[in-house]
Chain A
Amino acid sequence: MTVSSSQHTKTIVAVAMSGGVDSSVTAALLLEAGYDVIGLTMHLWSDDGTSKAPCCSTGGERDAAAVAAQLDFPHYTVDFSQEFFTLVVKDFVSEYVRGHTPNPCIRCNTLMKWQRLWEKAQKFGAVYFATGHYARVEKNASRIHLRRAAFRQKDQSYALWGISQEQLKCTFFPLGKMSKDAVRKKASALGLPNALRSESQEICFVSNDNYRDFLKEHSQGVLEGIGSGEIVGPGGKVLGHHAGFPNYTVGQRRGLGLTWPRPLYVRRIDAATNRIFVDEEEGCYGHAMRVEQVNWVSWENPSEPFEAEVQIRYRDPGSPARIVPQNDGALHVEFLTPAWAITPGQSAVLYDGDLLIGGGVITSATL
């Protein structure tokens, strides 16, 4: 074996790889741009391999390693399963116990990918961090801006509201200006094995999207102890019974088992009394909400009220609202046009056009 001569100075970008086509094409584009790439896959959860969930299952590790071998860059798997359980999975369960509907993927982005994985990447020698998210970063003099993807229908900026300025400064989103179609074409052109594979949107630690079974298994008996409770209709009348409030989410229509002339939706969940409140569609619009765990992204910490478009779930087109920053750092959000099915536990993300102002977690709604 020959001894290699001294290496050129490398500019190393660490690519968070799930094994899916987006992060794979991300790595390929960075290589073409002349960067030295290392692929990192987080090992977050051990299941028996039956889950088709996209990120961080052992199948994903294999796929990511195969892509790295094919494109010829180093790939490492990093075991964060303990932290993931403590920070993401436990929160997922406790949110359901409170009657909220959590978004663990966003928490994983904030706490795992951009904190722990990025820290690990820097220890490995990386100076930049890249993911296959459809979003855009703009590095300006005073503030780093996060924008929606150029192709709105693929925009994933909603899931990225928790990233700090310092982290964004070192982040690349190579797919931000591309369409999904263009990404797939690129993958095919490169002969990547996962080019045509469908990517599921499931939570990675819940196999077959069966979150109810997951909650039963991991709530340490708490959720099992929640028996059936009342379903309360418009006007306060008890219309029937439900199998336990964690089985429901705000805005849900299916599974109520009620007879009513018009469709009924879950309006509000009261965990304390194990009651589900339902109403017809018009009754499920909310006027205001409280948002906590606020992170300011493209705008610096505003102290005065302002108007913005607010997205309250991933596929929400957004509603205009007046944002009133509170003394305790939370936000009071007053919708200018009422918002449908405001769900505590979900993320609220504020936009100025395609500029992501900031975001937080919805804790309560005023209907």
Chain B
Amino acid sequence: MIQLFHVHKQYPGEAPALLDVSLGIEKGEFVFLTGPSGAGKSTLMRLVFCAEVATSGQLLVFGRNVAKVKPSQVPYLRRSIGVVFQDFKLLPDRTVAENVAFPLEVRGLAPREVKRKVSAILGSVGLDLKAGKFPLSLSGGEQQRVAVARALVGDPALLLADEPTGNLDPERTLEVMDLLHAANARGTTVLVATHDRTLLERYKKRVVALERGRVMTDGAEIRRAGFA
């Protein structure tokens, strides 16, 4: 699903954000990407999401070399990737249903089909009664569930979540993580960037630890080693 070969990413005038990162994530996996702030978690996410290109090395997403994907083809690649951010990135002047409908409208689905899918996904995240509300009238946990619904409504093969619970209390954190877990159970590959060690402990999944742009450890043993 995702393969990185000696990936290096450097921003001008800064220390390398990623240094010789090699990594493979299989289809259907649930992987935590962890490490302190500035470790390179978000940079790696942005590379996978084609928001940036690696300075050197190779990155394959769905078997395609991202560096060779034409800019005009990037949107079509992104339609197979759902993304969730710490700050939700919802449009405040659109209703919950309108926010969630966005990825389907981009794909050109018929309004009736959009409505059906939006209704179904909002039901699955427990927000069917909030469809007509505006994001700012919702709690943080609800807003993040809307963001997860938007990321999942297009049935993506890959779900990227960058600190999805960073702004949430423990109870809401578990609600959101359960949604990601459920998506993984339905076959979506999930990559979650977090520095919340309780999540790593609770969900016994593969953990890739980054520090100063390098992969320090990779695998379930990370918990036993107490890295996180």
Do A and B actually bind? no
Q: Which residues of B contact A (CB under 8 A)?
A: none
Q: Which residues of A contact B (CB under 8 A)?
A: none
